[in-house]
Chains A and B, each alone.
Chain A
Amino acid sequence: MLVTYLNCQPEIEPSATIAMERILIVDDDVDLYQLVTQFLEPEGFQVEAAHDGPKGLERAVSGDYSLIVLDLMLPDMGGLEVLRNLRLKSNVPVLILTARGEDIDRIVGLEIGADDYLPKPFNPRELLARIRAILRRTREAATRGPDDKLKVGDVELDPGTRKVQRAGEKVELTAVEFNLLEQLLRSAGRVVERENLAQEVLGRKLSALDRSLDVHVSNLRKKLGDRSDGEERIQTIRGVGYIYPLAEKSAN
């Protein structure tokens, strides 16, 4: 089973042993970390902690973890700052925790490249579900062969290695952005409903005001750039969902 997914270190050997997934919690609340550890360990996770921003960043980029749980309110270096620096070096999945309950933190977090968010206080079952939803696809990757490649226009996505190329050049995507693109490419030319997309990509239902999916789509658009004919790669169908149009003839 592939336990580590990191675009920055593609040469890492996929581990063949069945190991526990390692999760890093970056939060200054030591008690909370201990409780979460007690909750997650029986579920098959090995949990470690960093209690301030700089240490958290240092360990998050190490490539030892399958997922980072990052509290946005940290001493020394704010969580958003940690995330920004982390994304310069690594695409490791990040789940942010926000206690302020202000929308803006969460939106900015997603824009910088967080994979999902959870408001504090959270139900530990919810945390577990989110972690599993993000990791599910990276785990599935190991079972995919090179035949599963998806190609639409100049964009090529390989679910096996979890790499995306546009016109032969590598595009760096976060785990959720990759999952999102995969879903859209699989249904290229057809509308994918928001609810289905959220369920597939984030593993949950969206509440009325939750713009998480739209932020991910917007990040994906930016990273892929416009098509050569100037059309947007991902079009919004208002009130329904998104479509990845098939205008340029594609091979699949």
Chain B
Amino acid sequence: MMRSIFLKIFLWFWLTMVLIALAFAVVLNLESEVNPTRQSLTGDAVALYASSAAEVFERHGAQAASDFLRQLNQSSHIRAVLLSDDLHNLAGDLANPDSDLLAQAKSTGQTQIEMHGNFAFAVAPTQSVSGKRYLFAAELPRRAPGIFRGTLRQQLLRWTLAVLISGMVCYALTRYLTYPVLRLRSAASSIAAGDFAARAAPGLGSRRDEMGELVRDFNQMAERIQRLMDAQQQLLRDISHELRSPLARLNVALGLARKWAGEQATSALDRIEQESERLNEMIGRLLTLARVKALVDPPQHVTVSLRALLDQIAQDAGFEASAKHCQVHVEGAEDCEVRGSHELLHSAIENVVRNSVRYAPPESNIQIELRCDGKLSRVVVRDHGPGVPEAELSKIFRPFYRLSDAREHRSGGTGIGLAITQEVARLHGGSVSARNAQPHGLMVEIELPRASVS
């Protein structure tokens, strides 16, 4: 499959070569049949044999003429017979000379030639020095064009050799043409799979044709991509480190402040701790979002039971929800499995559930429904909160998107959770969408392809 372009080009080349050879042979063959020059040459030769045979017959008798014709047969594979004007056999031997041809030659006084399969039949009228008329009938082996000559075995061998050699030539030619393409392809797919260090065969870069240039350009492009990706990853690590270091100091200082401060500072310190945690969460989510966006494939491929995952998330979120006297239920008894990263899938779904808990009015329910239809699994999270204006439904998956009525800000989300959900769903070959429920509330649906049942 990978070499299909190779195969295609190779087969086309080879087929073309064999067809050209065949066509060439056929044309040669046809030409020898109709070529007037060749026919007249044959005619002249036959006429010469005819007059010689007649001369020998008149001077030395029938026996000598027969000897002459036998010699002719031995040297030139021409079987011939000398006939008198009234068609009596005078010398030589030929099974059944064509009577039409004889009559034609006799009436026109011209040499007649006719092709029959592997032989040519010729009849030449001739007149001896004494003025007597003779007819000379000959059967000539036809000289086939080179490749058609010889026995069946010889021909088979010849054709096999021709096909093999042309095959080899085509193979070399095709390899020369497609090698850079195949190498480029494999390098490109490595890069697409996330191996940014991959390069197309560097040896090809010294080729001085367009292919060589293409390889050089490709490698330069790969180099740039690698540098950009490395720089981005490095930046992420640095940001993470540089932002978290002051936060770490802040947290320890906060711990000290709690030890030393009096009662009345407690609520302010609580607030500092809460905001510091929020800042840390935001840094973590930003990093996750950036990391997930740079991926083309889930970092792990484990089989994840959605049912178990949802139960776990519901349990954790239920704890948070209980502060508002809300409950989180998982509905549907089915279980379906998804392949991918357990950690990312967990955070993708958890973000949606936490988002719902945040907007749920006190003493309401949050329902998580799991449905498995054919090749898809669907997780629908529904709350009974205020929902989202229709026009903004698709925008809530953008990072830091703020609803026009600023509800997001009031309830303290990081604004990145749903963006992560979208990226994780994409990474696993799925999607996420939101719609408003009746009479009010938001439904977020995550679609993920099910792990193939083997």
Which A positions have Cβ atoms within 8 angstroms of B? 29, 31-32, 35-36, 38-39, 42, 73, 99-103, 120-125, 208-209
Contacts and interface: CB of A to CB of B under 8 A. Distances in A.
B132 interface: no
B241 A32 contact: no
A186 to B, nearest CB: 29
Contact of B346 (A32, A100, A123, A208): A208
Task: Output the residue of A42, A99, A100, A209 with the most chain B CB within 10 A.
Answer: A99
A79 to B, nearest CB: 12
A38 B346 contact: no
A209 B342 contact: yes
Interface stretch (B17-25, B72-80, B208-216, B247-255): B247-255
A125 B255 contact: yes
Contacts of B95: none
B256 A38 contact: yes
Contact of A122 (B251, B284, B291): B251
Given A103-B343, A121-B276, A35 B284 contact: no
A32 B248 contact: yes
Contacts of B276: 121
Given A38-B256, A39-B255, A103-B343, A121 B312 contact: no
- Identify whether the interface residues of A are mostly helix, strand, loop, or mixed: loop
B253 A35 contact: yes
A29 B245 contact: yes
A208 B250 contact: no
B293 interface: no
Given A35-B256, A99-B241, A208-B312, A121 B248 contact: yes
Given A31-B249, A39-B252, A209-B342, 15 more contacts: A32-B248, A32-B249, A35-B252, A39-B256, A99-B245, A100-B241, A101-B244, A101-B284, A101-B287, A120-B244, A121-B248, A123-B273, A124-B255, A124-B256, A208-B346
B237 interface: yes
B280 interface: yes
B364 interface: no
Task: Output the residue of B240, B316, B346 with the most chain A CB within 10 A.
Answer: B240
Contacts of B280: 121
Contacts of A73: 241
Given A73-B241, A121-B276, A123-B255, A209 B250 contact: no
A172 to B, nearest CB: 31
Contact of A99 (B248, B253, B342, B346): B248
Contacts of A36: 252
A100 B240 contact: yes
A206 to B, nearest CB: 12
Interface residues of B, number: 27
B347 to A, nearest CB: 9
Given A31-B249, A101-B284, A209-B343, A121 B256 contact: no
Nearest to A104: B299
Nearest to B250: A121
A122 B280 CA distance: 10
Nearest to A123: B251
30 contacts: A29-B248, A31-B249, A32-B245, A32-B248, A35-B249, A35-B252, A35-B253, A36-B252, A38-B256, A39-B256, A39-B259, A42-B259, A99-B241, A99-B244, A99-B245, A100-B241, A101-B240, A101-B244, A101-B284, A120-B245, A120-B247, A121-B247, A121-B251, A123-B251, A124-B251, A124-B252, A124-B255, A208-B312, A208-B346, A209-B343
B8 to A, nearest CB: 43
A121 B256 CA distance: 15
B447 to A, nearest CB: 23
Contacts of A122: 248, 251
A101 B240 CA distance: 8
A103 B255 CA distance: 26
Across the A-B interface, give the 4 residue pairs with the lowest CB-CB distance, nearest first: A124-B255, A121-B248, A35-B252, A121-B247
A230 B241 CA distance: 46
Nearest to A208: B312
A29 B245 CA distance: 8
A106 B252 CA distance: 21
A63 B129 CA distance: 134
Interface in B343-367: 343, 346
A125 B276 CA distance: 15
A29 B249 contact: yes
A102 B300 CA distance: 14
Interface string B227-251: 0000000000100110011011111
Contacts of A42: 259
Nearest to A35: B252
A166 to B, nearest CB: 32
A205 to B, nearest CB: 12
Nearest to B251: A121
Nearest to B252: A35
B10 to A, nearest CB: 45
Contact of A208 (B247, B259, B287, B316): B316
Contacts of A29: 245, 248-249
A209 B248 contact: no
B237 to A, nearest CB: 6
B158 to A, nearest CB: 66
Contacts of B273: 123
B357 to A, nearest CB: 16
Interface string B241-285: 100110111111101100100000000000001001000100010
A91 to B, nearest CB: 27
Nearest to B242: A99
A125 B255 CA distance: 7
A39 B313 CA distance: 35
A100 B245 CA distance: 11
A37 B249 CA distance: 12
Interface in B300-333: 312-313, 316
Contacts of B291: 102
A125 B254 CA distance: 10
Given A73-B241, A99-B244, A121-B247, A32 B252 contact: yes
Contacts of A125: 255
B346 A209 contact: yes
A99 B249 contact: no
A122 B276 CA distance: 11
B294 to A, nearest CB: 13
A37 to B, nearest CB: 10
